[in-house]
Amino acid sequence: MSRLLWINGPKLGRLGQRKPELYGTRSLEQIVSDVRSLAEPLGIEIVHAQADDEALLVEAVARDSARCDGIVCNPASLTPSGLALRQALDDSGLPVAIVHLTNVAVRRDWSERDIFMDVARIYVAGAGWVGYQLAVLAFDALLQGRIPR
């Protein structure tokens, strides 16, 4: 069985309540359940962590990455400035998928670039919560050797 660490950044615990016109009406709990339902038949276990505090996300990467085969991360509001989390992902040595619910390239000012982009082996933006499922499917292909590492 493969294992993916799934990190969700600040404010994502309020999905379904916060700006539903932008982020959708599904709660994080519903999304986690759906992603686990997709991953399980593929032989992938999901280890999930969400925090509004960057230090807690860095701790989750340090604590859990050694027992995982890859990391899916939505840095959320840390996207332009989460240097500690970015470094933790890079230092893990694992392939990383960065997922954004919206297309951050068109939503952010040019000065607020995505500092996580260059640590991403897989990058999904603008697909809503389905982006998490796309990341799991991409990781499955990567781990099975169907796409090059």
Among all residues, which ones are annotated catalytic? 23, 100
Q: How far apart are CA 1 and CA 115, in angstroms?
A: 31
Q: How far apart are CA 142 and CA 70, in angstroms?
A: 10
- DSSP collapsed to 3 states, 9-61: CCCHHHCCCCCHHHHCCCCHHHHHHHHHHHHHHHCEEEEEEECCCHHHHHHHH
Q: How far apart are CA 67 and CA 86, in angstroms?
A: 19
